[in-house]
Every structure is written in C-alpha cells, then in structure tokens.
Chains A and B, each alone.
Chain A
Amino acid sequence: MAHDKSPGGSLLIKGGHLIDPAAKIDAPMDILIEHGRVAEVAAPNKIKGADEKFDARGLIVAPGFIDLHVHLREPGQAHKETIASGTAAAAAGGFTSVCTMPNTAPVVDSVEWVQWLRSPERGAVVNVFPIAAATRGSKGGTLTDFRSLQRAGAVAVTDDGKPILEDDTMRSALVLGSELHFPIVQHAEDTRLTEHCSMHAGARAFRLGLHGMTSAAEATIVERDVHLAMQIPNSRLHVAHISTADALKGVRRGKRAKTRVTCEVTPHHFTLTDEDVRDYDSRYKMNPPLRSVSDMEAILVALEDGTVDAIATDHAPHAAHEKEMEFELAAFGITGLETALALAITKLHKEKRMPLDRVVELLTAGPARCFDLRGRGSLARGYFADVAIFDPRKRWTFDAAKSLSKSKNTPFDGWQLTGKVVATIVGGEIVHRT
C-alpha cells in the first residue's frame, strides 16, 4: 500500500467537498498533505504543486473515521480476526483509527500487551489505540495500573464484555481516572439480571421461548455510574454501546449536570430491533441485544440532539462454527466496520434527514473528544492526515463474503445501502482505494 505515496511527499486532495465539523467547514475545499499532516486547507484551485493529486470531484472529504469500539481478537483469537485483517476491514469502511477492546486471550491488562498491540509487527494499516482492562484479568476485582497503561498508549480502560459491577470498584476507577483524565468505559449490563439471556426481553423473546434481557439491566448500571461520576470532579465516564431509552435518560442527566459523561451507539441499534430476530438466526444475536422499536426511536432522537457522542461499531468477529449453532449457545456479536458509514447514511441521513455533517461528526470529532485523541477527528492545519473520502449517493449491495474481515457474521449481508467509501488515507498514505 505504501506504493501510493512515499512518506514525506505531498498529496493534494482536489475538487472534493470537505465536511469537517470540528473546524465548522462544510464547503468545497482542497487539502494539501505533507509529512503525514494537513499542511493547508484552501478554496478550490488555490493550492498549486504537489507530488501527487487525488481527484475527489463529486465526493465528500472528511476526517478519517474513529471507531471507539472494536474487537480485533488479538492476542489469542486469531481464528476470528487479526490486527491486520481487522484494520484492513476498518480501512475499507473509512476508519483511520480504531480503539481495541481488551477482552482477548489473555486479557490486555498489562503494559506489555498494550505495547504488543501497538507494535508495527501486528501489520495494522490504520491507527490502533488500545483500550486496556480496568481490572486485572477483567475479573472485576483489583484495578489495573492505569498510569502505566496510559503511558504505554492505552486511551481508556474497560472490562468490556462484562460490566464493572461492584460499586466500590467503579467508584475507585472513576476517582483514579479523574486524576489522569482517563475515561472509564462501561459495558452497562447488570449481569445478575441477564443470566441465560440471549435477546431483549419482550414479546418476541416470549414467542421464541428465549430468556430476555430487560432494559433495566442496562439502565440501572448507567444510573449508578452517572450518579458516581457526578460526585467525582473531573471523572470521565463513557457508556459503551448504549441501547435503551431508559439508559439514555441517565446520560442526559449527567450531561445536564456538566459531568463528562459520553456515550456511543452502534449502527445495528439504530437500524434493527428485536422484531428482526427471526428463525433463531444468530447473526441477530449481540450484546446488548437488539431492542424494542421505542428504544430505537429514543436512540435516533439522542443521536440528533447530542446526547450520543459517537457512532461505534462494536465490531465483533466470530468464526462460522461459533455462530452457526443453537441461538442460546451462539457467541454474541456481529462485524460492523465495513457497513457503518453506509448504514449511517442510509438510515440517519437519507431516511431520518439527519444533516450529513452531523453524521460525519458522530464518526470523527465526536469520538475524538470522548477519548481525547489529539490531532485526530479534524482536518485542520497541523492535524494528522487521516482522511475518509466517500460518495454519499453511491448505491451498493453489501456482500459479506467479500468482507476483508476474517469473519462474516453480519445481519447486513445482501443489504442495499447508500454511501460508499472511495478512499481512506492514514497519516498521508492511501491505505484503501476502490
């Protein structure tokens, strides 16, 4: 991929329409990239001379997308995904930075594993920002060494896949996080209420004979966490994959009280509901589960009104044999990197009339703010030259078999979508191009 451009050379992205919400730009602009950074942003045809030119006529040029929530499965589960395959899928989806979840085998709870993840030997084609475990082995007991993990490059801590359940542990994590400006990412699920559950509690679960997770199991944890965060000055709470109307109320309360509470929503939670779970097809099984229609409607409002800060995929690849089995026994999770933009454009922009710059904000400036990713999430001068170039009107059909991810577990196979990534640039280098 390096053949497209040697580092240090210059690249001019010409003729495109720049949407950079952080810089409040939504206009035709040319962008000059030098030494992996944005050197100049100017009106069309004002910038002359560059080693290489990228013709972006008819296309949207945006800061590279940032995914706060991906499972790239290394170390230890390379049969599902690797850093190399997962970041290739990310690049195909316009993502230039991904934050990796620590629930691997072993759990990423040490400086060594954070460094291992960031090593060039992993073959990442986009930026990898590890999120480390909040407790040792993500067992919910002793907190990890936040300070060292942060220094090694971790951008946040979480026990994702599981909640930080104990009040004391969560409180201590928020206190320690407040001193370090370190976000605590919560997988909000009261697991005492969700044992044996495989989908959302509701009419569909009852009909299918499946135990259901109530929205209360998510909302009570969010309520508690927001409550704790409000009492701890400078604490940073980030609610992962929020999925219920009740839990969003908690986030709103925190934001109104000027607490730094942020949250993310997955594309599947704004496009699908529990009524889509059918034929015991485990491609519709994920955690948090697909929720009710009213939950989805609340999410759509929250995406619009700013309660939600970011769209994050919760990209969760699994091998076929881990999904094609009894629904209740099948692994939770779906892939999402290659469909996120198109689902956002198709559902939020085309159907719900959300302005395109808000869609872009939810994929760029929004997530960058959640985890303080300096120099990213915008294409202002001096920022990293991480760019997503896409055609917002292009209609296409997603074929999971052609996915760059190692795994194909997605309910969006065969979906007709609008909006397609044309090129992805990381640090000035074109890493994906159609």
Chain B
Amino acid sequence: MSAARGSLLGIESLDAAEILKILKFARRMNPDRPRPLLKGKRVVLLFYEASTRTRSSFEIAAKMLGAHTVLIQSSGSSIEKGESLLDTGYTVRALGADVIVIRHPNAGAPHVMARHIDVPVINAGDGLHEHPSQALLDAYTILRSKKKLQGLQAAIVGDIFHSRVARSACHLLSKFGVKVILCGPAELVPEIAATLAPGVRVTRHIEDALRGTDVVMLLRMQKERLAGMKIDLPDYIARYQMTAARLKTAKKDAIVMHPGPIIRGLELTSEVADGPQARILEEVRNGVPTRMAILARAVGRMR
C-alpha cells in the first residue's frame, strides 16, 4: 500500500511546485485567527521522542483549524508496554484518527506506518532522516526576508550527519536552485553529504561557507547523539562557532537561522542569537501557519 493522499513523509519526494503551493497557502493562514478547515477532525500526535516546539506548534495549528487533538507519548502509553509501531497505528486508526502526526527516533518509521495504515501520516521528524515541516517553515521564514529562493546561497553549519533538519533543508533548497554549503568537521560533515542533492557542497572552513552567503543555518550540537564520537568541543567552538565577527563575512543582509533549541556559547554566541540578523524566534512563530497548511493539505482542504 502506498501512503494515503495528503501524507507528508519527506521533502525529497515533493516537487518544487507542491512546496510553493504549501508555502502560499501558509501565508494565508493567520496563527491568531481560527480557520475551521479541520472542524470535527481528529489529529493524533504520536510522539516517540521528546519535543517542545514541533509538538506544541502542531497542536496549536490543529486547534486553530478546529480539530480535536490527542497526544500519545511513548512514556505512559502502551508503547512503553511493548506495543509495536504498527499495532499502535492500527489502534489510533480504530480510534478514528483523520491525521497522524508522528515523531520517532528511527528513520523511516513514518514511512512504515504510512505503508500499512490508510490515514494521512505527517512526519514530524524521523531519526536522522527528515524533518519536512521544519524545512517548510524555514523556507517560509527565508521568504519573509528574501524575495525568492532562486539565486540564494545558504550555509548550514554544524552536525550535518545527525541532523534531519539539515537533510530536509538540503532537499528543499536544492529544488529551488539554492547553492548549499555544508560546513563542519569531517566526523560531522562527511564528504558523502554532498551527494544529498544537486548544488550541495562540503567545506571545512567557516569563512569559505560564509563568503557571499544569504542564509546562515546553525544546528545544535546534539550531545545525546555525539556519544562515542571524538568531538573536541573547545576545538569546535574555536573553528565553527558563529560569532558577530564571523557573521560579517556573510552578506550584509544575511539572516541567521536555527531550528532550536539553541545552546548559547556553543554553536553561536548570545550576540548573534539576539542580534538583528537572527530569525530564530520568527522561525518558531512561522511554524504555526506552516503546519496549519500541512494539516489542511492532509485532509484535502488546501485549496
């Protein structure tokens, strides 16, 4: 069985026209005004992994659209008792779910669910694989500051290997001809990362990544995923931390983005995080209209 219509499993499989449609619809969504497109529908938020902004953002988006939401987290549910992914999916289906939003520590879990359950599945982050709603809200955010994506250059700095945000961003930006430069040490940014999408390249030098760049995306150093890797944090900070001085290498009107949570003093300084070029909180705000569009699309109301 293929995924139900309206599913959003990843950016890789979307074409540019579909992405633009979602972004256009998102611009018509007002995060402060209810739009009952999902009135009476049941949106199940299935979270196998901790999440603050993605979960609350989907929840608010669903509520603004008039849907009932149910949150199922792995702790305190049957998942803890050993219920399988698919059995949980069948259960949620039986409860009358109209949309399933799933966050899971294993890559591809949403795909497996979507293959077996005839309910639209939205990937809210799967392991190291993709985080499509984040990429869409980031594109939405970029387009609030830049006229169009075509012709831009973006630098993504940090732990690319462990980042689903980076993978989704690469796919999305590449589809619009954005030059993407991935920057970090070899352990975190393997050369093979350049094969992700056309127009993606890898550099070890932050200045090389920043020169002529319009969008600087920083990633959190995920300590929980770095266990066992030989990463010297002071060395990382010395070579890659985004400081106000370094940011000057980028274009004057460059914007700084970060999917959060940020660790001040590690991947960026407070000066950058709180500076005029930062769009970090705007990204959070833009999450709601973007996810409203994603949910409307899931039930066929994105018109």
Choice from A202, A209, A279, A327 contacting B167 with Cβ under 8 Å = A209
- In chain B, what residue has the closest Cβ to A328? B106
Inter-chain contacts of A373 with B (CB < 8 A) = none
Let me know if A206 and B116 touch, CB within 8 A: no
Choice from A202, A208, A325 contacting B107 with Cβ under 8 Å = A208
Let me know if B190 and A206 touch, CB within 8 A: yes
Contact A325-B192, Cβ < 8 Å, known A209-B107, A280-B107: no
Within 8 A of B (CB), among A102-123: none
Inter-chain contacts of A208 with B (CB < 8 A) = 107-108, 129
Let me know if B112 and A324 touch, CB within 8 A: yes
Inter-chain contacts of A203 with B (CB < 8 A) = 192, 195
Inter-chain contacts of B143 with A (CB < 8 A) = none
Most buried by B among A202, A208, A210, A324: A208
Q: Chain B nearest CB: distance from A283 CB in Å?
A: 12
B111 interface residue per 8 A CB criterion? yes
B85 interface residue per 8 A CB criterion? yes
Inter-chain contacts of B84 with A (CB < 8 A) = 321, 325
Inter-chain contacts of B161 with A (CB < 8 A) = 206
Cα(A328)–Cα(B85), bound, Å: 12
Within 8 A of A (CB), among B110-132: 111-112, 115-116, 126-130
Let me know if A328 and B127 touch, CB within 8 A: yes
A27 interface residue per 8 A CB criterion? no
B164 interface residue per 8 A CB criterion? yes
0/1 interface trace, chain A 206-233, chain B, CB 8 Å (1 if under):
1111100000000000000000000000
- In chain B, what residue has the closest Cβ to A195? B228
- In chain A, what residue has the closest Cβ to B127? A209
Let me know if B192 and A329 touch, CB within 8 A: no
Contact A328-B86, Cβ < 8 Å, known A203-B195, A207-B167: no
Most buried by B among A203, A209, A327: A209
Let me know if B108 and A327 touch, CB within 8 A: yes
Let me know if A326 and B192 touch, CB within 8 A: no
Let me know if A324 and B86 touch, CB within 8 A: yes
B220 interface residue per 8 A CB criterion? no
Let me know if B106 and A329 touch, CB within 8 A: yes
Let me know if B111 and A325 touch, CB within 8 A: no
- In chain B, what residue has the closest Cβ to A202? B192
B196 interface residue per 8 A CB criterion? yes
Inter-chain contacts of B106 with A (CB < 8 A) = 326-329
Cα(A210)–Cα(B128), bound, Å: 7
Within 8 A of A (CB), among B1-27: 12
Within 8 A of B (CB), among A208-261: 208-210
- In chain A, what residue has the closest Cβ to B84? A325
Let me know if B108 and A326 touch, CB within 8 A: yes
Let me know if A327 and B112 touch, CB within 8 A: yes
Cα(A326)–Cα(B127), bound, Å: 11
Inter-chain contacts of A327 with B (CB < 8 A) = 106-108, 112
B193 interface residue per 8 A CB criterion? yes
Inter-chain contacts of A206 with B (CB < 8 A) = 161, 190, 192-193, 195-196
B109 interface residue per 8 A CB criterion? yes
0/1 interface trace, chain A 185-210, chain B, CB 8 Å (1 if under):
00000000000000000110011111
Q: Chain B nearest CB: distance from A202 CB in Å?
A: 7
B297 interface residue per 8 A CB criterion? no
Choice from B130, B190, B195 contacting A209 with Cβ under 8 Å = B130
Q: Chain B nearest CB: distance from A279 CB in Å?
A: 6
Let me know if B112 and A325 touch, CB within 8 A: yes
B179 interface residue per 8 A CB criterion? no
Contact A209-B196, Cβ < 8 Å, known A321-B84, A326-B109: no
B104 interface residue per 8 A CB criterion? yes
Let me know if A326 and B104 touch, CB within 8 A: yes
- In chain A, what residue has the closest Cβ to B107? A209
Cα(A280)–Cα(B111), bound, Å: 7
Inter-chain contacts of B115 with A (CB < 8 A) = 279
Contact A280-B192, Cβ < 8 Å, known A321-B84, A325-B85: no
Cα(A207)–Cα(B111), bound, Å: 14
Inter-chain contacts of A207 with B (CB < 8 A) = 12, 167, 195-196
Q: Chain B nearest CB: distance from A289 CB in Å?
A: 15
Most buried by A among B108, B116, B126, B128: B108
Q: Chain A nearest CB: distance from B14 CB in Å?
A: 15
Cα(A326)–Cα(B115), bound, Å: 12
0/1 interface trace, chain A 291-326, chain B, CB 8 Å (1 if under):
000000000000000000000000000000100111
Chain A interface residues toward B at CB < 8 A: 202-203, 206-210, 279-280, 321, 324-329
18 inter-chain pairs at a CB distance below 8 angstroms, sorted by A residue, are A206-B161, A206-B190, A206-B192, A206-B195, A207-B195, A207-B196, A208-B108, A209-B108, A210-B107, A210-B128, A280-B107, A280-B111, A280-B112, A321-B84, A324-B86, A325-B84, A326-B106, A326-B109
**6 nearest A-B residue pairs (beta carbon):** A280-B108, A209-B129, A209-B128, A209-B107, A326-B106, A203-B195
